[in-house]
Structure 1
Amino acid sequence: MYLTETAQRYLRATGPEHDEIQADMAGVADEEGFPIIGPDAGGLLRTLAAMTRATSVFEFGSGFGYSAYWFLQGMPADGEIVLTEFDTDELTMAEEFFKRAGLTERAHFEDGDAMETINEYDGPFDVVLIDHQKERYADAFNAVREDLRVGSVVVADNLMRGPIDIEDLLAYFESGEALPDNKSMHGVADYVETVRATSGFQTTVVPVGSGLSLTVRVE
């Protein structure tokens, strides 16, 4: 556990609460065992959208719209977000949730491979979320980095928890120990090394939710 139980409780006690629709989304996630970022990480996404005054957000992997809903809460009224998802049923659920919230006109629901969908949008993007297959994280960053303005943020999820082992990743980054044969961990390690080595960007990992990497274009 990378945060003590007390720290996690403190974050939850002082963090944002779900509205009715988000609570329903979280209920679906619990019933189906679907991983969502949760309200603490969601609150950070909302804050990033507000801080960047984001009018254009792109998600690599959206599920049924939980993270996108948080982004829109922090965006101005003219802001739009692109949701991408392989699973048609999940994307349909996202549309239904957004319809209830009156947000469908601000969202583009793209069924299929996000790595193909990104080619259909020119940008620039104010915020990008990478939350699809871990072994494709670095590819997603490379696909979008030229479509980011100075001050834009790329967020990557599951940097500290999920289909990875933080102890193995720590040993790799601290002392160069070999990673186990796990595509997700190799993908996360490759992503971190890629964003840290890319000129003009600064990266920080934040221990909120399952661990978020924040990469900001600075030049």
Structure 2
Amino acid sequence: MAAVADEEGFPIIGPDAGGLLRTLAATTRAERIFEFGSGFGYSAYWSLQGMVDGGEIVLTEFDEDELSMAEDFFERAGLTERAHFEYGDAMETVEEYDGPFDVVLVDHQKERYSDAFEAIRADLPVGAVVVADNMMRGPMELYDLLAYFESGDPLPDDSATRGVADYIETVRAAEGFQTTLVPVGSGLALTTRVDGNTLTSAHRS
């Protein structure tokens, strides 16, 4: 899959971030994972390697060709039965699935990151982790982002940078969650549910 990404110029999270997704799936004993933006399935493939037997993942993608590639890769790997391939807007798709989710990947339009978190937060049990990509590298401007948080400088008129800044502020202010920025891949924000007092979804026994 990495070779295809290099050949086609597809952005992927890379093996280091992929390995972290696999570890998170394993440590949370993930039974269900949801992805806001899946591309051709690279990150989902890593996550499935760490999930419990029978665990399922929901892939969402607005590029029909990339989603078709994901289905092909998963079929060859014998993983199709554990994946749901959803074409279209992830923000609409998530409304069709009930929680809880153990791991969530946010990797679509940066200006919609906060909306994705708000859409999924009630479906996260204690210990669940939301992973947001491109916190330190990608379409956003890192130096402008650092200047904003460290010195209060105004953000540029750039939707990606503003979206990342808004997301970081949103998850840091979220009651019952703790967020850590990890310099892996293009930079990941790991937001973990630590307090279930506001949880509205059913818990697994």
Check whether TM > 0.5. yes
Counterpart of 2:35 in structure 1 is: 59
Q: Does 1:81 align with 2:87?
A: no
Counterpart of 1:163 in structure 2 is: 139
Counterpart of 1:214 in structure 2 is: 190
Greater helix percent: which structure? 1
Once the two structures are superposed, residues 90-143 of structure 1 have per-residue CA deviations (whole angstroms, 9 ceiling, x without a partner) of 000000000000000000000000000000001100000000000000000000
- 1:110 & 1:164 partners in 2: Cα distance? 27
Q: Does 1:129 align with 2:112?
A: no
- 1:28 & 1:84 partners in 2: Cα distance? 19
Q: How many residues are paired up?
A: 195
- How far residue 34 of structure 1 moved from its aligned partner, in angstroms, is 1.0
Q: Does 1:198 align with 2:194?
A: no
Gaps of at least 5 residues in structure 1 are 1-24
2:161 to 185, 200, 206: 185
1:151 to 121, 127, 141: 127
SS in 2 for 1:150: coil
SS in 1 for 2:66: helix
Counterpart of 1:112 in structure 2 is: 88
AA of the residue aligned to 1:187: G
Runs of 4+ aligned residues of structure 1 deviating over 4 Å after TM superposition are none
Q: How large is the Cα RMSD of the aligned pairs? A: 0.5
Q: Does 1:103 align with 2:79?
A: yes
Gaps of at least 5 residues in structure 2 are 196-205
Once the two structures are superposed, residues 58-79 of structure 1 have per-residue CA deviations (whole angstroms, 9 ceiling, x without a partner) of 0000000000000000011110
Instruction: Tell me the TM-score normalized by structure 2.
Output: 0.94
Once the two structures are superposed, residues 30-56 of structure 1 have per-residue CA deviations (whole angstroms, 9 ceiling, x without a partner) of 112111000000000000000000000
- 2:17 & 2:127 partners in 1: Cα distance? 20
SS in 2 for 1:57: strand
- 1:199 & 1:87 partners in 2: Cα distance? 34
- 1:193 & 1:122 partners in 2: Cα distance? 26
AA of the residue aligned to 1:211: G
- 2:4 & 2:62 partners in 1: Cα distance? 18
- How far residue 57 of structure 1 moved from its aligned partner, in angstroms, is 0.1
Aligned residues with identical type, % of pairs:
78
SS in 1 for 2:153: coil
